[in-house]
Amino acid sequence: MSQLAPGAGAASGPAPETGTPGSRRASAWRLLLSSPTGAAGLVVLAVLILAAVTARWLAPYGPNDIDVPNALAPPSGRNWLGTDELGRDVFSRVLLAAEVSLQVALVSVAIALVVGVTFGVIAGYAGGWLDLVVMRSADVLFAFPILLLALAIVAIQGPAISSVMIAIGVVYTPIFARVARASTLSLRQEPYVQAARTMGVPTWQILLRHILPGISGPVTVQTSISLAFAILSEAALSFLGLGVQPPNPSWGRMLFDAQGFLASAWWMAVFPGLAILVTVLAFNLVGDAVRDVLDPRQRSMIESRRKR
Amino acid sequence: MSAQGPVRPGAPLLEVRDLHVTLSGKKIIDGVSLSVERGRSLGIVGESGSGKSVTVLSATGLLDAPRTEISGTAAVDGRPVIGASPQALRQLHGPSVGFVFQDPATSLNPLLTLERQLTEGPQTHLGLTRRQARSRALELLDAVGLPDPESRLEAYPHQLSGGQKQRVMIAVALACDPALLVADEPTTALDVTTQAQILQLVNDLKRDRDMSVVWISHDLGVIGQIADDVAVLYQGQVVEHAPVKDIFDAPQHDYTRTLLAARPRLGAARDLAAAPAGDDAPLLQISDMTVDFELRTSTGKKTVRANEDVTLHVRRGETLGIVGESGSGKSTIANVLTGLVTPVSGEVLLEGEDIIGVKGRTAREVRRRIAMVFQDPYAALNPRRSVAASLAEALGAAGWRGSVRRGVASRDGNRSREGSAASMRDRGAELLESVNLDGSFLDRYPHELSGGQRQRVCIARALALDPEVLILDESTASLDVSIQSQVIELLRRLQAEHGFAYLFIAHDLAVVEQMSHRIAVMKDGRVVEENEATELYRAPRQQYTRDLIAAIPPERPS
């Protein structure tokens, strides 16, 4: 079965029953895991998500358990990653912040994905004035510096997790719209889409059957990269005091609090920073690996390397 | 210049011995031996996948795909190629070997003027100054018959037509006065009249410069025009290597005979079903149709007239062939009939009812009655969807409800024809059977099918609509000759069984003759001549038609 993965059968003509959708997807997963960086990224992500979900039970202390006599304690057996200026356990706070950060990233990217892809596909497929209006609006959104736009939205909505999600979602919408539109434009010209049109297949069916599955590759890649940037944006907004509100922990807020103690308590800045770095890196690695697996040319190279 | 091998007098210019090539673990070339004498030409024929290009590319040191294993020997002018260093190869390629590839549109750098592309080689390899190289470039453009070379030097590739680009490619290949010209399907993407000119040009150049030519083609007619010797490749092996006359007159190998028999020939026996009686009302009538396209150029909008006052008709059970060169507006007719393009004037009547600009349910009914089979079977099927799903889509568009994928009945729509899922799957299998594929193909994916099988699936998909008119837009052009003749046979049988009206759009006049009752010749968006097929070939009325017919490579080499 693995020897006759899609792509290998193409040149050898009719091959026996191999290419069910299930086996296609399974082999994509297998290819993803076979790339060392992709596998590493996936493992790190899995650990992160697991930690975030179970943070409540995993954390040795409550995030806001103040213990002033024990403030600014360096990493030790009692507080693995040390304590902050109020004696709160940095390890517990980093763990619990993971939950918030991932939640914000997932929800905001989901908003951007749904809205952006919808507009992008419609604009790309319909063309004409609709395309013009949608894409110029996206350009205007795009022209704002990301943080500035997010700042404006948070300023209007008031600082809260929901406004952070909406802000980041809005900011990333034009990127998805562009990716979706560009892929739709080239897919539209594919003879199989033309064939469906000449047969009188309703437009919504063409969009669902041919266009959406066809653009899933670039959109998936964009999603994983956007997740990484959404984590960064959330940290930046929280750092500026516009994101997650104290006393709830968040990586960006922790970095902000650590500013005053950089010389005396390096652990307050280093560990939330490391958490951001590892998460962003993991998303990027997975994004790169996914792109390689979904690109047919790269894919056959990976496959031929594996077969050796 | 560095590896001066022993040049024996009378030794072949290109000699390949026992060449084996393995690409990604797959054996592509299995023990090929070839030789080309100085001043002679070798034609290499074979169907797609037979290893024609790989043989020549690896024998000249151009094959650098990852995971390639090459063994055997190949020498150009006595200098070894296989295992040679990149430097040695560079010194070989410019001055000794020139290359021309299939697609002139992608072989020239769009960002450089012709002068830059033509002077690059001579300046590097022959040590010419810019001025000398420029006058050489002029000579070359003149030699390849490009009109007004002086002004062309400043031109960019996009300002040339396809045939002109291929001439420039040949000029680039000749720039360093190579002893060997390698041409890989150089006329396949060109019109027949252009092809005839290029063939003439290469034959002249070969004679004037005492140059050797290796010409790769799937088309025996072209090979017959250019080659002194022919090598027939089949599954990575040379099955026959003989002078061209012997190949045509006394083919030794079965495969060569198959190739010769399968190729479309003018005047080959036609066993078309008799055309319907002449007094039938036409099923489809196109009257005075004019189509414009708006092109956005750097200087503003420009209107291009794709069709002008086109009047054609086709009756039930009849095939109307439409021939013409690229850009003559053949495909625009197909696009109007399938609703992809709206004409600016004129009318298209399907059984007396105008189908232009129809909307909603009427439009769906019209789309069902006029089906189309596309040129490229590799692109016309969605690679992510099984054959069953592709057929289901067409059946759905024709009003069937249900799923062919699973044996579970889904809810019947109110316009359901027969309804249940099982019957839809049965219908899919039935359709495949009518194109000579068995029902097991339902669960396959396009990448598991050969080109011919894919085109059959595309035909089955068109049949799923239960159409009355079938548009065949170059539907056999991308298939190998043996497959092509099978598909033509299939199309003829289907017409006899169902009484379809065919619009057969093609550039290959021999294929059109085999298929069509009547033929319309198009040039610059207009129909210049229309006649019964036999009449048109016997007594063409227009000079343009005569040119087209004259440009077809003759059946045998002269």
Instruction: Give the DSSP letter string of B50-85.
Output: SSHHHHHHHHTT----SSEEEEEEEEETTEE-TT--
The whole-chain average pLDDT of chain B stands at: 84
For range B522-534, the mean pLDDT:
90
**Closest chain A residue to the Cα of B383, Cα to Cα:** A192
Give the per-residue pLDDT at B417: 44
Distance CA B208, CA B111 (A): 32
Looking at residue B558, what is its pLDDT?
66
Give me the residue from A13, A197, A308 closest to B450, CB to CB.
A13
* pLDDT at residue A10, as a whole number: 35
Q: What is the pLDDT of residue A58?
A: 85
> Looking at chain A from residue 219 to 258, which residues have their Cβ under 8 Å from any Cβ of chain B?
none
Bigger pLDDT: B188 or B202? B202
pLDDT above 90: residue B6: no
Query: Tell me, what's the pLDDT at B9?
Result: 54
Q: Please report the pLDDT score of residue B493 as a whole number.
A: 92
Radius of gyration of chain B (CA): 26
- B312 or B191, greater pLDDT: B312
How does pLDDT run across B404-423, given as a tens digit for each residue? 444 333 434 433 444 455 67
SS3 sequence of A9-48: HHHCCCCCCCCCHHHHHHHHHHHHHHCHHHHHHHHHHHHH
Identify all chain B residues contacting A190, using CB atoms and an 8 Å cutoff.
379, 382
Structural Rg of chain A based on CA atoms: 23
Q: Is B8 a residue whose pLDDT tops 80? A: no
> Which chain B residue's Cα is nearest to A22?
B384
Given pLDDT bands bounded at 50, 70 and 90, which one contains residue B268? Answer: low
- Determine the average pLDDT of the residues in B491-508: 91
Among B447, B456, B461, pick the best mutation site for testing chain A contact (most A Cβ within 10 A). B447
Confidence class for position B65, pLDDT limits 50, 70, 90 = confident
Better pLDDT: B190 or A280: A280
CB–CB contact B368 A14 (8 Å) = no
- pLDDT > 70 fraction of chain B, expressed in percent and rounded: 91
Interval B224-245: pLDDT, tens: 889 999 999 998 899 999 999 9
> Quick check: B469 and B337 in contact, CB under 8 A?
yes
From chain B, pick out residues whose CB is under 8 angstroms from the CB of A200: 339, 363-368, 397
Q: What residues of chain A, 142 to 161, have a C-beta less than 8 Å from chain B?
A: none
Query: Residue A21: its chain B contacts at CB < 8 A?
Result: 384
Q: Looking at the complex, does the CB of residue A13 fall below 8 Å from at least one CB of chain B? A: yes
Q: Give the total residue count for chain B.
A: 558
What integer pLDDT is reported at residue B10 of this predicted model?
63
- Give A-chain residues touching B380 at CB under 8 angstroms: 191-192, 195
Q: Rounded mean pLDDT of B130-142?
A: 89
Kindly state the percentage of chain B with pLDDT values over 90: 26
- Per-residue model confidence (pLDDT) at position B410: 41
- ipTM, two decimals, is 0.76
Q: If you ran DSSP here, which 8-state letter would residue A262 be given?
A: T
Please identify every stretch of chain A with a pLDDT value under 70, giving residue numbers as ranges.
1-27, 295-308
Query: For A200, which of B67, B364, B374 is closest by C-beta distance?
Result: B364
What count of Cα atoms within 13 Å lies in the side-chain half-sphere of residue B534?
7
Taking CB atoms and an 8 Å cutoff, what residues of chain B touch A194?
340, 374
| CA nearest to A211 within chain B | B382
Instruction: Band the pLDDT of B197: cuts 50, 70, 90.
Output: confident
Rounded to 10 deg, the angle between the A296-307 and A21-34 helix axes is 70
Instruction: Name the pTM for this structure.
Output: 0.79
A15 reaches B (C-beta below 8 A): yes
Contact A199 B49 (CB under 8 A): no
**What is the C-alpha separation between B264 and B208, in angstroms, rounded?**
33
B372 vs A11, A19, A198: nearest CB: A198
Give the residue from chain A lying closest to B371, CA to CA: A199
pLDDT of residue B182: 92
Mean of pLDDT values over B447-463: 90
Q: Is residue B316 predicted with pLDDT exceeding 70?
A: yes
* Centroid of chain to Cα A280: 9
A189 touching B (Cβ < 8 Å):
no
Is residue B475 within 8 Å of B440, Cβ to Cβ?
A: no
Probe site for chain A from B444, B471, B503 (most A CB atoms < 10 A): B444
**Alpha carbons A118 and B390: distance in angstroms, whole number:** 24
- The answer to whether A308 contacts chain B (CB < 8 Å) is yes
Question: Any chain B CB within 8 A of the CB of A198?
Answer: yes
